[in-house]
Structure 1
Amino acid sequence: MWIWLGLSALALIGELASGTFYLLLVALGLAAGGIAAWLNAGLEWQLVACGVVLLLGLLVLRKTRVLKKREVNSSRNADVNLDIGQTVMVEAWSDSGTARVWYRGAHWQAQLAKGCAPQAGEHIITELRGSILVLTPNSVGST
Structure 2
Amino acid sequence: MTHTIWLVAALLALIAEFMSGTFYLLVLALALAMAGLGSLAGASEVLCWLLASLSGSIGVGCVARWRARQRRGRPTTTAADDPDLGQTVRISTLLDGGLARVHYRGTEWQARLSGDGPWQAGMQAYIHGRDGNVLILSLKQTETR
1:7 is displaced (CA, Å) by 0.6
Residues 2-36 of structure 1: CA deviation (Å, up to 9, x unaligned) = 11111101111111122211111110110011011
Unaligned runs of 5+ in 1: 87-113, 115-124, 139-143
Counterpart residue number, 2:85: 84
**How high is the sequence identity, in percent, across the aligned residues?**
31
Counterpart residue number, 1:135: 141
For the 8 Å contact 1:61–1:67, the answer to whether it is kept is yes
Map 1:1-143; keep pairs closer than 5 Å. 1-62=3-64, 65-68=65-68, 70=71, 78=79, 81-84=82-85, 127=128, 134-136=140-142
Instruction: Give the Cα–Cα distance (whole angstroms) in 2 for the partners of residues 47 and 79 of structure 1.
Output: 51
Distance 1:85 1:135, change over 3 A: closer
Normalised to the residue count of structure 2, the TM-score between the two structures is 0.51
Structure 1 or 2: more helix by fraction? 2
Count of matched residue pairs: 98
Unaligned runs of 5+ in 2: 88-115, 117-125, 130-134
For the 8 Å contact 1:126–1:134, the answer to whether it is kept is no
For the aligned residue pairs, the C-alpha RMSD in angstroms reads: 3.8
For the 8 Å contact 1:30–1:50, the answer to whether it is kept is yes
Give 3-state SS (helix, strand or coil) of 2:66's partner: coil
The letter for the 2-side match of 1:32 is M
The structure whose Rg is larger is 1
Residues 74-129 of structure 1: CA deviation (Å, up to 9, x unaligned) = 9x75477413368xxxxxxxxxxxxxxxxxxxxxxxxxxx7xxxxxxxxxx76377
Counterpart residue number, 1:98: none
Normalised to the residue count of structure 1, the TM-score between the two structures is 0.52
